[in-house]
Structure 1
């Protein structure tokens, strides 16, 4: 972790060499999800509710998912840009160093400008928590925290999976946007508004349903059964990360240098 902290500090200082650019990019990142949230607001302004879900209930999910995506995009940006390391042959250099390739790829790129997106998501989340009709307890607050952590793990896992595909395809695949950007847009709404096959896929394969829909049922007192089960449901995101890392190791063992 000390080495990881040094990676963070070095890249932060490098990005702050151009402070005007850094703050302008952060400012732009603040307004990217803001426009999406404005669309969400006008949607509910027109129709009132969607499948029984009120505006602030969906805003709570919106804040959680976009905050998780912002954190994952900041910390796991190295995997998102990993194809460049393969094409240039720079990954060969990482292999001969006495540290984990996961740690080194994580430390190769950080997007601190995503603080703008993170701040906007935090504002929406705090507003939704203050306005939503829920009896807040310590367990529910912990559940909300677990939702954010789990969402971050799922997005990071998707980045890792897409990066591992580069061992066979060399170039990154645009299809990954279906599960990153597309997953973010889909998961900002409760899953029961979609078709059943979509709900099942994003619950049992990519467990976004364990991040937004199921824990939200518990927070809003709509769940049945022991509350602690719903509280632990977001841990599925951590479990999702395990096969992603195993697939990464599988790809590393079969990697052949590009010869660059």
Structure 2
């Protein structure tokens, strides 16, 4: 385990060094990521400027959701380039055979493919929005809010990493990554930026029990802000809900190893 972590750390250092050889490119890619999230944020502002609120939810509540979800997604997106592009980079051209021949786990090698520093733009935007909305919400936080929110971001990271792993698993059958997965990755980010309580029961059920976005983003924020949940969940459940993201990641890795890799057929090249 220690040796694997050391190897992963070395791979990350090499990835960062490689990207820093093209600093201007890194700067513009990071800037593009930052600007993209600004556009999303403007859309949220326009909604509240027009309607004022969404029930009990004000602009700063939704901005807090925005910050938590986008911070976690930015980290997960940076860590999973190898999984996200596995069908094109490894399976379609037969390079996956090389991964199988190396004396390290496939997942470790894919995690070590690249640390996408360009995602820092989205992360920076999310942190700035969190700071701003946090100041607007001063006085309403639960005493355990820092721990709950850290757990929430960890849960968001685990959940989206798990989704990218499932996307890679489907690549064993489809070769190309399925665009339908974007509805629960990038589309999931858009969904989780708003309170789960505003959606209909079918979507609430889906985002709690199938793809638990509500568990990693909505419930812990409600707990951290000492809000009354319109869904009627108790505080302890809300605070512990991000563990669903960790469980989702573990199940995704299990499916990847047990179903995906076993289904792989070499190109013979």
**Alignment TM-score, normalising by the size of structure 2:** 0.92
The equivalences for 1:67-146 within 5 A come to 67-83=71-87, 84-132=89-137, 134-146=139-151
The CA deviation string for residues 166-202 of structure 1, in whole angstroms up to 9 with x for no partner, is: 1111121111111111111111101111111011101
The aligned residue for residue 37 of structure 1 is 41
**Paired residue for 1:167, among 160, 167, 172?**
172
Cα separation, 2, equivalents of 1:195 and 1:56:
22
Q: Aligned-pair distance for 1:96?
A: 1.1
The aligned residue for residue 22 of structure 2 is 18
The aligned residue for residue 259 of structure 1 is 268
182-191 or 250-259, which moves further after superposition?
A: 250-259
Cα separation, 1, equivalents of 2:208 and 2:233:
19
Q: Aligned-pair distance for 1:32?
A: 0.7
Cα separation, 2, equivalents of 1:253 and 1:152:
26
Cα separation, 2, equivalents of 1:148 and 1:97:
33
The CA deviation string for residues 10-67 of structure 1, in whole angstroms up to 9 with x for no partner, is: 1111111111111111111111111100111121122110122111111000001111
Number of aligned residues: 260
Cα separation, 2, equivalents of 1:166 and 1:29:
26
Structure 1 residues 134 and 144, CA, compared in 2 at 3 Å: closer, same or farther? farther
Question: SS at the partner of 2:176?
Answer: coil
CA contact (8 A) 2:67 2:129 kept: yes
The aligned residue for residue 148 of structure 1 is 153
Moved over 4 A (4+): 223-226
